[in-house]
Amino acid sequence: MWAPRLAVLAALALLPAWGATLGKVVSIGGHASDLVLDEARGVLYIANFTANRIEVMSLADYTIQTSMNVAPQPGSLSLSPDGRYLLVAHFGNFEAPHVPRNALTVIDLVSGGKQTFALGSPPLGVAFGINDLALVVTTTDFSLFDPVSGTTQLLRTIADVTAKTLPAAPANFPPQIVAASLGVSGDRTRIYGLTDTMEFFYDVLTRQLRVLNYVSQPEMGPRVVSVNADGSQFLAG
């Protein structure tokens, strides 16, 4: 069992619904699939899944300053520790003819350059660690991606994780995962994630990946993961 504790936010479902709106609603003209805070630049990056762009929102006046066009279906974002690279994962295999767009886009926020790299499987989530490498979770594997060289290193396949990590996988346990959400500790040494079938923990310093299966009734979604400063605790639900 993991030392950090997991708290599932199921209790929120029991709270009464209130009519008041908290905060300010900012329209982006599409479906927001992920967001990343860039405190140094005072902006928020928003993945506009349906408009195929990254919206850049000012934290000063909560307006969309500009947009960056990217490959179709940007689904997940992560900012490198030095604030230079914005990594975008693209996943769109639900559209006819059901051909997945398996790609990562690296946006150099200093030079403004963009590079897109193909992947073997659709990426579901990305998260940078303290070592400047991004953990990439696809439908079939866990990999590390270097935004400078564009190279990918396989950590574990989902099939391998199922066979070697889970004590007794159900007979109908799927060979692939179809959804994932990742959260990074404040010191970027630990990455936690939640998929449709498993919880996982990645230690950036030791490169160890640990996985537990779970059952949720009703199903959780949209899944969200939040990690504290040193990675000793996280919330998922």
Q: Is residue 216 part of a domain?
A: yes
- Summarize the confidence of residues 96-120 as an average pLDDT: 84
Domain containing 191 equals: 5-12+26-236
In the prediction, which pLDDT does 76 show? 92
- How far CA 212 is from CA of 80, 133, 143, 209, 226, in Å, comes to 27, 23, 18, 10, 17
In the prediction, which pLDDT does 184 show? 96
What is the model's pTM?
Answer: 0.82
Q: Which long-range contacts (CB under 8 A, 24 or more apart) does 216-222 make?
A: 216/8, 220/8, 220/194, 221/179, 222/181
What span, in angstroms and rounded, lies between the C-alpha atoms of 31 and 48? Answer: 5
Closest CA to 107 of 131, 125, 80: 80
What span, in angstroms and rounded, lies between the C-alpha atoms of 13 and 27? Answer: 26
H helix runs in 57-156, sequence order: none
Q: Is residue 46 part of a domain?
A: yes
pLDDT digits 0-9 by tens, 118-137: 998 889 899 999 999 999 99
What span, in angstroms and rounded, lies between the C-alpha atoms of 167 and 179? Answer: 22
Q: Is residue 212 part of a domain?
A: yes
pLDDT higher at 139 or 107: 107
What span, in angstroms and rounded, lies between the C-alpha atoms of 54 and 112? Answer: 13
Structure tokens at 66: 């500009």
What span, in angstroms and rounded, lies between the C-alpha atoms of 34 and 229? Answer: 21
Q: Is residue 67 part of a domain?
A: yes
- How far CA 105 is from CA of 36, 127, 202, in Å, comes to 15, 13, 22
Q: Is residue 18 part of a domain?
A: no
Q: In what order do the strands lie in the sheet with 64-69?
A: 32-38, 43-48, 53-58, 64-69
Does the pLDDT value for residue 101 go beyond 90? Answer: no
CATH of the domain at 129: 2.130.10.10
- Summarize the confidence of residues 82-102 as an average pLDDT: 74
Structural domains of the chain, count: 1
Does the pLDDT value for residue 209 go beyond 60? Answer: yes
Q: Is residue 17 part of a domain?
A: no
What percent of the chain is predicted at pLDDT more than 90? 51
Q: Is residue 131 part of a domain?
A: yes
Q: Is residue 19 part of a domain?
A: no
